[in-house]
Amino acid sequence: MASTRRILCQLPISMPFETFKPYYDLLQRDYDLVKRPDTETQIRDVPTGLSKPDLFSYFGLSLAQDREILKSMLRAEQEGFDAIAGACVFDGAIRAAGNLMNIPVVGPGETSMYLAKMMGEHFAIITSDPSFTFKIEHHMEQLGMRPFAIGYRPVRSLSLGPEKFFGCCLGTDYSPVIENFSQIARGCIQDGADVLIAGCGLMSPMFTVSNVRDIDGVPIIDPMLVSLKVAEMLVDFRAAGIPIISSKGLFMKATKGDIEEGCKALGLI
């Protein structure tokens, strides 16, 4: 294995560095708290496609954006990255990319739900926008994780307006988001949650870097860190010759030639 693990941290939309630098800095500070000294992270956006997070509210547009996410991810292996850590709890294009490449591709939403099941009995997910709750609930159902979440409204959202929320993302005062999250979290705890997932990659690093790790003793999972740490682990497994993904059944692996031919025909590479 190379002395340095290179992990691509894939954002889900177009977020030019010049405009969103405060968020890039926040996410990098988040990663730096837990990543190994020999891990190098590179945060990359999707240069084409959607540029407004609220457009993810629309199921069709969100699915269409997955194609653009996939195109960005497919470059990673050729560029020498050892793994991809997704940076959106929707896990857009994660399964497709993992089946088309040989390096690990990790979804923060999926892995955070699995971790929450290990940490407690019933989790709740709090996201940043009310319209995101439906897609996250759908993702939860697809993963078979619904039985491990609280029974009533397992996915809830902040009540801050989008302008206030994005002002916090691009600023240094995260207290409005933290206070609103805490309020929503206490309702989840009252309804049986013993683990909380901060269900938005724009939001979760705010808690970690602010040393807000739990609400009334109930731990908060930061999905950005979970995807990164699982990616590191799978890089180690792969280097040791340990399989990291199935190549049979639903995830039957095409040959390298067929993958290249198919991706070219689809305009993915």
Task: Specify the pLDDT at position 252.
Answer: 94
Q: Please report, rounded to a whole number, the percentage of residues in the chain having pLDDT higher than 90.
A: 91
Name the pLDDT band for 1 (thresholds 50, 70, 90): very low
Average confidence (pLDDT) over 25-46: 97
- At 106, is the secondary structure helix, strand, or coil? strand
- Edge-first strand order for the sheet with 155-157 is 155-157, 123-127, 195-198, 218-221, 214-215
When pLDDT is averaged across residues 160-185 and rounded to a whole number, the result is 94
How does DSSP classify residue 149?
Answer: B
Three-class DSSP category at 50: coil
**Using an 8 Å Cβ cutoff, are 198 and 222 in contact?**
yes
**198, β-bridge pairs:** 126
Q: What's residue 49's pLDDT? A: 87
CA distance 254 to 247: 9
Average pLDDT over residues 89-97: 96
Looking at the chain, which runs of residues are DSSP E strands? 5-10, 39-44, 83-86, 105-106, 123-127, 155-157, 195-198, 214-215, 218-221
> CA-CA distances (angstroms) from residue 89 to 84, 99, 152, 269?
14, 19, 20, 25
- For the cut 90, the answer to whether the pLDDT of residue 56 exceeds it is no
pTM for the whole thing? 0.95
